[in-house]
Chains A and B, each alone.
Chain A
């Protein structure tokens, strides 16, 4: 394998030494851009990166002018890179200052400053055009084909700097991106790390500009990183994947441009975008198709509950799929999935394609019915017209967590019948043998032994701790609790008084 690659490189060097330079610098630039791009994407500073790319034009022009006018020599790449970095750092510092001391937000500050500084570069270039012997268009649109020796050196140095920084300061970059406050509290110099990342950004932008140009270099930075971000949940893996996507878009883009005889710069960036789109569609976790599938596969809790409700209301509490479908306006496939789910949860039995409750399924259905009928009672008290009660309660019944239902039950005075005169199932979560409950929860024929008398209501009734009381049919339309004591005395209590007696539930008398 390596022999083959070596052979290929050797051939290339002999036949087209120029192409070899392009390949090497492309490889280096793709890797360094994608690596720094990951941090730029995660820190949401893409716009700042764009600003840096534009500001560097001013730096390049200024450093070129200073050298050629003041020292009378042709500027070399190293000086222009230095100029670009200085311009980038000045831009970012100004952005920081403006957004800190005034009410102007950061994005606005970037918008003002980067266009301004880019403009200064343009002004200088046109005012002193007789001194400038570099092709500025080279910086604006980028030309891979004109890769020079110095470009190659730049790329090599930039890449080694960027990779060394990323490896050495991986933890620092990670924690300052994720939680800068915590980073500061354990003594990591957050501002210094920020500027280090920024310097790296200017470096990779400077090296990337020769390939893609000022306007499109940002695509080489962020597109591979964003593609990797869709696929991986760990920063370390995301960094490797970003480099991979950076390389693949460079080589594929370059190859296609070569075949179609067009400029490679735009082709590389476009290839990167297409790659991103494909991954966006098919990524297993965060992709669009996966998202749709997940949405299709999820069975809404409300559907499960509606199915339980429809079986509960069927004759003999048994129903076939067809009968269930007649009640529920959901696609048949979904209902089938939901029934399967309920069966696996052990709530339903399937006997000759007729569904019936298991014991726990029956209990669950009664719990839902209790919520439904309590909501109906509540709605009626609010003055909702009778013919709308069922439908509105049908939506509300899905709010059936214990706390909500308990609260509703208490506020409504523990009603026994719903507005249609049907029985509201008793509170079987609390009303269990051995549990301590308020006496107001006891339904007719339930027995409890008094364990505590709360002070909230002044009871002048003859009841004492240890006494066993049996609930009778309530009086006054359910607003008055009636209890019989062991020695056949009858207690009449209102809601508050019944609430102030705590009993341990003994059970239900069978009559």
Chain B
């Protein structure tokens, strides 16, 4: 089975399809950020997107969310086009992409999950508030609901955005680098929430940067660098020669660093 042709991966045949990405090409300026990317993500799976910096991971996420329009190709969510599937996909942004000084409280952030279902001329209803409070309860953040979001620890901040995704009631969750810059305990806590959300039958897609933990955390991996290099179960994707091809420069830099460090400590 050729690993570069993910649309034919056997294990997907029985399961319902959550996200269907068909031959997507996206470009900002002259260089394409994504080139002919295709893959099929099954319902209820925990999928990791890995690849070096600038490999188009975030762009792929934004395309699935409908924030970026592909030049060629299309994304289907549960068989619907991107404009019909609004609100079915929830988004948990990268820590660095959030303005933590924004004048907004934990509860207000969670309430945003309900905005999609309320027409602009109506106010939020009490059921919207109830849904937000319930979501906060679920991630154990109800006690912090009147805190400004900047006054929380990294793990708590992540949980607030998980609550927002839960309040949205979306079936698919996209998380952009949830493990970047958090300590080990927080990493475990986030993983726990991910597992718990998966148990509820949700589909999760996570942009991830740490190759060391990728195999352990995810059911399926997508190795990306402009093109889709591999898609499938971790042991099929994490092939040394494949990784060398994708990470070429960076891995060499790592090796050089390690080597020079050892030399200097011997002197």
- The answer to whether A186 and B67 touch across the interface, beta carbons within 8 angstroms, is no
- The answer to whether A181 and B103 touch across the interface, beta carbons within 8 angstroms, is no
A177 to B120, CA, bound (A): 16
B87: A residues at CB distance < 8 A? 185-187
- The answer to whether A181 and B91 touch across the interface, beta carbons within 8 angstroms, is yes
Is B155 in contact with chain A by the CB < 8 A criterion?
A: no
A174: B residues at CB distance < 8 A? 104, 108, 112
Is B148 in contact with chain A by the CB < 8 A criterion?
A: yes
Is B254 in contact with chain A by the CB < 8 A criterion?
A: no
- The answer to whether B112 and A172 touch across the interface, beta carbons within 8 angstroms, is no
- The answer to whether A181 and B112 touch across the interface, beta carbons within 8 angstroms, is no
- The answer to whether B66 and A42 touch across the interface, beta carbons within 8 angstroms, is no
Q: How far is the CB of B250 from chain A (nearest CB, A)?
A: 23
A187 to B87, CA, bound (A): 7
- The answer to whether A180 and B67 touch across the interface, beta carbons within 8 angstroms, is yes
A179: B residues at CB distance < 8 A? 91, 93, 98, 112
Q: How far is the CB of A174 from chain B (nearest CB, A)?
A: 8
- The answer to whether B28 and A188 touch across the interface, beta carbons within 8 angstroms, is no
Determine, out of A232-240, A344-352, A455-463, the stretch whose residues face the partner at the interface: A232-240
B108: A residues at CB distance < 8 A? 174, 234-235
Is B144 in contact with chain A by the CB < 8 A criterion?
A: no
Most chain B beta-carbon neighbours within 10 Å: one of A102, A182, A382: A182
| Shortest Cβ distance from A38 into B: residue | B103
Q: How far is the CB of A39 from chain B (nearest CB, A)?
A: 11
CB interface residues, A 168-209, toward B, < 8 Å: 168-169, 171-172, 174-175, 177-188, 190
A188 to B109, CA, bound (A): 16
Q: How far is the CB of A31 from chain B (nearest CB, A)?
A: 19
A179 to B94, CA, bound (A): 11
Q: How far is the CB of B47 from chain A (nearest CB, A)?
A: 18
A427 to B148, CA, bound (A): 40
- The answer to whether B148 and A185 touch across the interface, beta carbons within 8 angstroms, is no
A234 to B168, CA, bound (A): 21
A233: B residues at CB distance < 8 A? 103-105, 148
- The answer to whether A187 and B98 touch across the interface, beta carbons within 8 angstroms, is no
- The answer to whether A169 and B86 touch across the interface, beta carbons within 8 angstroms, is no
| Shortest Cβ distance from A403 into B: residue | B184
Main secondary structure of the interface of A (DSSP, over half): helix
Is B259 in contact with chain A by the CB < 8 A criterion?
A: no
A183: B residues at CB distance < 8 A? 115
Is A392 in contact with chain B by the CB < 8 A criterion?
A: no
Evaluate whether A185 and B115 lie within 8 angstroms (CB atoms) in the complex, with A168-B121, A172-B120, A178-B104 already known. no
Is A118 in contact with chain B by the CB < 8 A criterion?
A: no
- The answer to whether B65 and A42 touch across the interface, beta carbons within 8 angstroms, is no
Is A375 in contact with chain B by the CB < 8 A criterion?
A: no
Q: How far is the CB of B263 from chain A (nearest CB, A)?
A: 15
| Shortest Cβ distance from B118 into A: residue | A171
A103: B residues at CB distance < 8 A? 29
- The answer to whether A178 and B99 touch across the interface, beta carbons within 8 angstroms, is yes
Most chain B beta-carbon neighbours within 10 Å: one of A186, A229, A233: A186
- The answer to whether B168 and A181 touch across the interface, beta carbons within 8 angstroms, is no
- The answer to whether B103 and A169 touch across the interface, beta carbons within 8 angstroms, is no
- The answer to whether B103 and A234 touch across the interface, beta carbons within 8 angstroms, is yes
Is B62 in contact with chain A by the CB < 8 A criterion?
A: yes
Evaluate whether A232 and B103 lie within 8 angstroms (CB atoms) in the complex, with A175-B115, A184-B67 already known. yes
Q: How many residues in A have their beta carbons less than 8 Å from beta carbons of B?
A: 33
- The answer to whether A234 and B104 touch across the interface, beta carbons within 8 angstroms, is yes
A178: B residues at CB distance < 8 A? 99, 102, 104, 109, 112
A238: B residues at CB distance < 8 A? 103
- The answer to whether A235 and B104 touch across the interface, beta carbons within 8 angstroms, is yes
Is A341 in contact with chain B by the CB < 8 A criterion?
A: no
- The answer to whether B120 and A185 touch across the interface, beta carbons within 8 angstroms, is no
Is A101 in contact with chain B by the CB < 8 A criterion?
A: yes
B37: A residues at CB distance < 8 A? none
A186 to B90, CA, bound (A): 8
B97: A residues at CB distance < 8 A? 181
CB interface residues, B 78-110, toward A, < 8 Å: 83, 86-87, 89-91, 93, 97-99, 102-105, 108-109
A235 to B111, CA, bound (A): 14
A382 to B83, CA, bound (A): 61
Evaluate whether A42 and B103 lie within 8 angstroms (CB atoms) in the complex, with A181-B65, A181-B67, A185-B89 already known. yes
Most chain B beta-carbon neighbours within 10 Å: one of A100, A235, A238: A235
A115 to B172, CA, bound (A): 47
Is B116 in contact with chain A by the CB < 8 A criterion?
A: yes
- The answer to whether B86 and A182 touch across the interface, beta carbons within 8 angstroms, is no
A403: B residues at CB distance < 8 A? 184
Q: How far is the CB of A151 from chain B (nearest CB, A)?
A: 32
Most chain A beta-carbon neighbours within 10 Å: one of B62, B104, B124: B104
- The answer to whether A182 and B112 touch across the interface, beta carbons within 8 angstroms, is yes
Instruction: Out of A100, A182, A187, A190, name the residue touching B93 (CB < 8 Å).
Output: A182
Evaluate whether A171 and B66 lie within 8 angstroms (CB atoms) in the complex, with A186-B87, A238-B103 already known. no
| Shortest Cβ distance from B64 into A: residue | A185
- The answer to whether A182 and B91 touch across the interface, beta carbons within 8 angstroms, is yes
Instruction: Out of B103, B115, B116, B164, name the residue touching A229 (CB < 8 Å).
Output: B103
Evaluate whether A185 and B66 lie within 8 angstroms (CB atoms) in the complex, with A179-B93, A234-B103 already known. yes
CB interface residues, A 138-184, toward B, < 8 Å: 168-169, 171-172, 174-175, 177-184
Q: How far is the CB of A235 from chain B (nearest CB, A)?
A: 5
- The answer to whether A186 and B86 touch across the interface, beta carbons within 8 angstroms, is yes
A229 to B102, CA, bound (A): 9
A169 to B121, CA, bound (A): 8
A362 to B138, CA, bound (A): 39
A42 to B66, CA, bound (A): 24
CB interface residues, A 228-250, toward B, < 8 Å: 229, 232-235, 237-238
Evaluate whether A184 and B65 lie within 8 angstroms (CB atoms) in the complex, with A178-B99, A232-B103 already known. yes
Q: How far is the CB of A466 from chain B (nearest CB, A)?
A: 33
Q: How far is the CB of B177 from chain A (nearest CB, A)?
A: 13
| Shortest Cβ distance from A181 into B: residue | B67
A183 to B66, CA, bound (A): 10
A184: B residues at CB distance < 8 A? 65-67
Q: How far is the CB of A284 from chain B (nearest CB, A)?
A: 13
Nearest 4 CB-CB pairings of A with B: A186-B116, A187-B86, A233-B148, A185-B65
Interface residues of chain A, those whose CB is within 8 Å of chain B, are: 42, 100-103, 168-169, 171-172, 174-175, 177-188, 190, 229, 232-235, 237-238, 382, 403
Q: What are 16 A-B contacts with C-beta separation under 8 Å? A: A100-B28, A169-B120, A171-B124, A174-B112, A175-B115, A178-B102, A180-B67, A181-B67, A182-B93, A184-B66, A184-B67, A185-B90, A186-B168, A188-B115, A235-B108, A237-B103
